[in-house]
């Protein structure tokens, strides 16, 4: 898979740091990966938000009934851990493994235009939602769309999603404009 120009500098968010845990600098980790342990496979880790990211090195991991707890190298107290609360864990986009044909990372879909089989532009993908049953595209209107409606369109490959063209920036769907 080729990556768009400038994508090498992008950071993809894969988790969020939660509250400190215990007295030695451990903290809760909310993983955005599925399964949640996949976050541990990425290297290098970046911690931050927006455009402010810095390198972080994992020092320890524990799993419990509530999820993952981590410690970071150089963080040895609850006060130090508290500074990380609410920060995101990211990885450089080039650190992500290649996806099989027909599979995409959500960050690749963000911003793509959604057009139906009749050639009508329904808007762009603002975000993706995990509903449990299937993923859902949140399609927002924009100046190129046929109307001002927000649409929630299920990500059901072959049934609804007919074709994804990352190069052209378009997702073709079998979805009527009046639905």
Q: Could you read off the pLDDT of 100-138 as tens digits, one per residue?
A: 988 999 999 999 999 999 999 999 999 999 888 899 999
Between CA 134 and CA 154 the distance in angstroms is 7
pTM score, two decimals? 0.74
Given a cut of 50, is residue 3 above it in pLDDT? no
Q: List, for residues 140-154, the tens digit of each pLDDT value.
A: 999 999 999 999 999
Contact of 122 with 173, CB cutoff 8 Å? yes
Between CA 126 and CA 123 the distance in angstroms is 9
Give the mean model confidence (pLDDT) for residues 91-100: 90
Rg (Cα) of the chain, in Å, rounded? 19
């Amino acid at each position: 898979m080729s990556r768009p120009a400038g994508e090498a500098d992008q950071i993809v968010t894969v988790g969020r740091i939660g509250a400190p845990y215990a007295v030695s600098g451990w903290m809760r980790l909310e993983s955005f990966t599925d399964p949640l342990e996949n976050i541990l496979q990425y290297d290098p880790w970046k911690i931050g938000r927006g455009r402010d990211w810095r390198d972080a090195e994992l020092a320890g991991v524990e799993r419990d009934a509530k999820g993952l707890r981590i410690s970071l190298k150089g963080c040895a107290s609850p006060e130090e851990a508290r500074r990380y609360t609410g920060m995101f864990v990211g990885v450089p986009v080039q650190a992500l493994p290649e996806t099989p044909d027909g599979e995409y990372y959500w960050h690749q879909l963000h911003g793509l235009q959604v057009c139906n089989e009749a050639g009508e532009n329904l808007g762009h993908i603002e975000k993706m939602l995990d509903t449990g049953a299937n993923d859902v595209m949140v399609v927002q209107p924009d100046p190129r769309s046929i109307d001002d409606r927000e649409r929630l369109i299920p990500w059901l490959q072959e049934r609804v999603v007919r074709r994804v063209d990352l190069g052209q920036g378009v997702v073709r769907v079998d979805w009527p404009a009046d639905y």
